[in-house]
Amino acid sequence: MSEPVVVITGASSGIGAALAEILAGQGKQVALVARRKDALDAVAAKCGSRSFAIAADISVRANVRKVVEETIARAGRIDVWINNAGVGISRQPSELTDEDLDQMMQLNVKSVLYGMQEVLPHFKERNDGHIINVSSMLGRVPFATIRSAYSAAKHFMNALTAMFRDEIKQTHPNIQVSLVSPGVVRTDFGLKALHGGPDSRQFPRSQSAEEVAAVIAGVVASRATDVYTLPGARQMVLDYYGSTGQDAS
């Protein structure tokens, strides 16, 4: 079989760009997806002949369908689909507007659902495939109030991922759906958040995009179900929900 074909959304910078370089270096064929064609072309140039760019706004379902069709037309198939694109927001929960919530749902939840749903028929036809959804520690623990709507969207996405996995494994056990939860990553995420925001690089215990991308590349290989990129993160989640402040009585 020829080299695996991997689609990465949000591939023009940050985690997505770093991941594309790693996977291309491993011999995988990589389809790079994002809105900014010039930035995508720059990443593709670094990845070499094993990559190609598809400029698309994946918050529109029809565009996601076209990405699936174009990738299959150019590469012959899709083996792994990585939903990496997402946008943050800086606004306290008491200040959130309808538009804030609608944007967070469209950009962080619906775009992921579109990816899962549109690639699924291809995976079912092949009886194989792997979906990886990139979430956040904020999708596990709501510890940053200015990220309230983003955190809520990631919680939603996590539940959707788990339910999608449970549904598909009943009939197509060779199709895997994985979730990866990074912590703070040293990218432009904070600066590009809706309403602006603090630079993610200034926070402690941050990871580089390359560190996170290496973990995701490992999930491509292992097909692990639920992975944290920051050492000790899983215990942090357990400690949060097991603390005395979370009264179950």
CA triple 164-167-173, angle to 5 deg: 105
Task: Spell out the residues 6+ positions from residue 169 whose beta carbon is closer than 8 angstroms to its own.
Answer: 175
- pLDDT, one tens digit per residue, over 7-66 is 999 999 999 999 999 999 999 999 999 999 999 999 999 999 989 999 999 999 999 999
Q: Evaluate whether residue 155 is within a structural domain.
A: yes
- pLDDT, one tens digit per residue, over 221-249 is 999 999 999 999 999 999 999 874 555 44
- Domain region containing 25: 5-241
- pLDDT, one tens digit per residue, over 101-147 is 999 999 999 999 999 999 999 999 999 999 999 999 999 999 899 99
- CATH number of the domain enclosing 130: 3.40.50.720
- pLDDT, one tens digit per residue, over 162-192 is 999 999 999 999 999 999 999 999 888 888 8
Q: Evaluate whether residue 151 is within a structural domain.
A: yes
d(CA 34, CA 55): 5
Q: Evaluate whether residue 16 is within a structural domain.
A: yes
pLDDT at 50: 86
Indicate whether 216 pLDDT > 70: yes
Number of Cβ within 10 Å of residue 98's Cβ equals 7
Q: Based on the structure, what is the number of domains in the chain?
A: 1
pLDDT (average), residues 198-211: 85
Q: Evaluate whether residue 247 is within a structural domain.
A: no
d(CA 114, CA 221): 24
Q: Evaluate whether residue 69 is within a structural domain.
A: yes
Q: Evaluate whether residue 161 is within a structural domain.
A: yes
Q: Which of 114, 150, 228, 240 is catalytic?
A: 150
Task: Spell out the residues 6+ positions from residue 174 whose beta carbon is closer than 8 angstroms to its own.
Answer: 127, 128, 129
d(CA 13, CA 59): 17
Active site residue 114: no
Q: Evaluate whether residue 249 is within a structural domain.
A: no
**What is the widest separation between alpha-carbon atoms in the chain?**
59
Quick one: three-class SS letters along 157-198? HHHHHHHHHHHHHHHCCCEEEEEEECCCECCCCCCCCECCCC
Q: Evaluate whether residue 246 is within a structural domain.
A: no
